[in-house]
Amino acid sequence: MKLSLILLSGLFFPGISMAQYTDSVSHHSKPKVVEFIPAAAAVGYGFIALNNNTLRRFDNYIHEQTNKRHPGFNTSADDYLRYLPIVAVYGLDLAGVKGKHNFVDKSALLLISGTLTMGSVHLLKSSSNRMRPNGLNDYSFPSGHTATAFASAEFLRQEYGDVSVWYTIGGYSVATATGVLRMYKNYHWFSDVVAGAGLGILSTKFAYVIYPSIRKWVTGKDQSNFVMMPVYQNRAAGFAFSGKF
């Protein structure tokens, strides 16, 4: 697991530190092209690995190493870890820690990100026909769990990365662990996980790019006038809405 963790961390954590320490992104600032490069490169790596013998041999090497160290490894942790950064976003919101957007806007952003992520994953899985390492089916490329995990981690970074770098580090660490577990369970090759990670990050980044235009088209205004907050009263949970029509 150590080898896989180092490889994935090396691919994505440089982008995290660059985004955190080079230039803080304000609520209204536009993302720079350079911020998309690491994730785009990861997706490109995955596509190249589909037909490149050298990268396929490297996939086989990683697969052999993981099986040698932990044969028969199995866990369901990856099914839950992929959503943990999302839980953290709403948990921080409930705790009163102010993020970049209000509850309604961040929920809309999450919906767009999830749609882009799962739509892309489904399209690629059905067209690439790559067999999983365990031979279960030919839906190996890219890793959907990893894509969801990194989309969630980027969601956490976008909302709370300016509050503390540790939110970003925590979210991306959980996402990396999800990808590693998918390889140890023999559900994915290394390049599947790398491509999935890049795809998830790009999906969330694009969601944040296009959302202001979508919101303005729907509401006619640059910012939402509606606020939705979770409430708990008389032993009943729900949501409270306020705003101007």
Distance (Å, whole) CA 236 – CA 241: 16
Total Cβ atoms within 10 A of residue 94? 12
Query: Which pTM does this prediction carry?
Result: 0.80
Total Cβ atoms within 10 A of residue 101? 20
Q: Render pLDDT for 38-64 as a digit per residue (tens, 0 to 9).
A: 999 999 999 999 999 999 999 999 999
The single residue listed with the structure tokens 């090497």 is 61
Tokens, residue 7: 């490889």
Residue 133 and residue 186 in contact, taking contact as beta carbons nearer than 8 Å = yes
pLDDT score recorded for residue 220:
77
pLDDT score recorded for residue 43:
97
Please, which residues have CB within 8 angstroms of residue 90's CB and are 6 or more apart in sequence? Answer: none
pLDDT, mean over the chain: 85
Beta strands per DSSP E along the chain: 226-233, 236-243
Tokens, residue 124: 């690629």
